[in-house]
Chains A and B, each alone.
Chain A
Amino acid sequence: MSDLKQMWIMTKYQFKNYMRAKRLYILLLITALVIALIVSVNVYFGNPSEEEVKKTASSFANFSEILVVLTALFFGGDAIAGEYQNKTGYFLLPNPIRRYVIYWGKYLASLLAGVIVLLFYLISGMLYTFYFHGTIPSEYLYSMLYSFVFLVSLLAFTYLFSTFFKNGAVALTIVAILYFFVFNIIDGVSQIASVEPWFSITYAAGIITLVFQGSYIGDYPHSQVIHAGKGLTITAYNPYLCEGVAIMLGYFLISAIIGTLIFQRKEMK
């Protein structure tokens, strides 16, 4: 019970950090600019009221994957590493509070901040879709749900890297490189090698937009062989919806266990 209470206190002060350091406001501002951009481009170059409702809704879902990455980097990158980098660990750690309580208290604050940003974005998308069509497709709600699952897992993955390093900027850069480059390269190589990249979180996150394909939810091919000429074939894989969720939850579980264990043993030298 006291551990839970301490965890809540950590969450409260970490969240205060996001407010005072203006990180939350900055990310909300960036999100607002993106929303404005999507709406203006769609309205200026297209005719949302004439197009299919799923297409209107998916125009918002496309960016939510990137927004989750930004959120994880903003709130998770230096959450643990910062304690070592700024020496605040000397203030916080020699107290009667278990390390995992600190770790998960901070994680919950990051998650809360991330949920606020994501909700702001996705509710804007809902309102936009509803404005032009008077309805919100169920695909959009599924996409929202998958976006939150992705947030939970990517944040845990970012926290894991934050425990590896003693410098927040390094942790943040590594996760950004991993996400934007390494995983995409792995996905690409897997296509050429005809191996399903079930171990890639970006592959799993694809379900956020895949849900809009086909005539019903989940109506898309799991794999497609494409002949690229000169005998070269590429296999494009799409994760099943439950498979995508399972991969993301797997990332969450493994990151959570390893991250907690590392922080438990990590020293302030």
Chain B
Amino acid sequence: MYMEAVNLTKKYGNFYALRDLNVKFEGAKCIGYLGPNGAGKTTTLKLFTNLLNPTSGEAIINGYNVKKDLKKALKEVGTLIETPGLYSYLTPFELLNMLCEIRMEDKCDVKNALEEVGMYEWKDKKVGKFSKGMKQRIAIAAALVTNPDILILDEPTTGMDPRGMAEIRQVIKNLKKEKRMILMSSHLLPEVTEVCDEVAMINRGKLLLYESIDKLSEKFRGNSVVVTSMNEIDEKKIMEIKGVKSVEKLSDTKVRIDFEDGTEMQYKILSELIAMGIKVVDYRASGMALEKAYLQMIGGEANE
């Protein structure tokens, strides 16, 4: 299973929403699709789901061009684009059955899809009266109901409370175990770090980066730690440790230490702190690799 963009371009007047996108997502994995508002994330997903017509180039799914072979291209694709409206006169059960009928899919499991998103007990109530979060859950169930190989999810946790967000992340993690490809756009970097294997970053309609989260973490590993102690910390003493570049006092018992590159150094500093008699209760890398990468790639672009 794969999705491929070949010189995919979408232009509105003189504005390029997407410009010559060339990327291939392949295999059972979760790909986080990141970028600021207006970067071209949703445009890409809409081009892959026949909601928009490309100005030029091709969106290909499993070898089929989405515009030319729509039925074959989208046969194994479940989608959640923006927050879809749901037919208010139908119940969740009827909505999902409608999709199964339209897709003429024999591997439908309405009950399981509704249970996965925690909406089974609401199956016979009309969706018109549901809250935004509930509707989003139904929309996710709609993407899952035909057990597709590929899932295209546009900010799937939008409009959900923290518990709902955690539940949906768990659903996505479970789907990964079932050997599916998930392309998920999100603004939430911790969400992408938690759920995805790879990340693609886009800004101003151009792909800036496509990398595995592991490689990205290696590249953008943080060279600073935040230390919390039970007793007061003397930052001057910490500056004496070899390899420490600077120490910023955050409070009497909390400091941020910038050091020279390397995990070995990170371990050495911790050992020295304990040897100095500092009662370390928390010692963690400051900031995430993905956040650093995002700020470097997207932030730099934005400042151009």
Residues on A lying within 8 angstroms of B by beta carbon are 2, 5-6, 9-10, 13, 16-17, 20-21, 86-98, 265, 267-269
Contacts and interface: CB of A to CB of B under 8 A. Distances in A.
Contact of A95 (B46, B74, B82, B90): B74
B70 interface: yes
Q: Which 9 pairs, one residue from A and one from B, show the smallest C-beta to C-beta distance?
A: A90-B84, A87-B85, A94-B49, A20-B89, A91-B84, A268-B51, A86-B85, A88-B85, A94-B79
A90 B155 CA distance: 14
B67 to A, nearest CB: 10
A131 B82 CA distance: 59
A16 B126 CA distance: 13
Given A88-B84, A91-B139, A9 B50 contact: no
Nearest to B74: A96
B62 to A, nearest CB: 12
Interface stretch (B97-105, B157-165, B214-222, B234-242): B97-105
A104 B72 CA distance: 21
Nearest to B143: A94
Contacts of B46: 267-268
B268 interface: no
B255 interface: no
Contacts of B102: 6, 9-10, 92, 95, 97
B199 interface: no
Nearest to A20: B89
Interface string B1-36: 000000000000000000000000000000000000
Interface string B120-159: 0000000000000000000100100000000010000000
A96 B89 contact: no
Contact of B71 (A5, A10, A16, A96): A96
Residue with the highest number of chain A CB atoms closer than 10 Å, among B70, B75, B79, B102: B102
A265 B53 contact: yes
B86 interface: yes
A88 B90 CA distance: 12
Contact of B87 (A17, A93, A94, A97): A17
Given A9-B102, A87-B84, A93 B50 contact: yes
Contacts of A91: 84-87, 95, 139, 142
A98 B67 CA distance: 10
Nearest to A264: B53
18 contacts: A9-B98, A13-B87, A13-B90, A13-B98, A88-B87, A90-B51, A91-B85, A91-B139, A93-B49, A94-B50, A94-B77, A94-B81, A95-B74, A95-B103, A96-B71, A96-B103, A98-B70, A267-B52
B229 interface: no
A126 to B, nearest CB: 33
B18 to A, nearest CB: 13
A17 B89 contact: yes
B83 interface: yes
A128 B124 CA distance: 43
Contacts of B95: 91
Contact of A21 (B71, B73, B86, B89): B89
Contacts of B90: 13, 16, 20
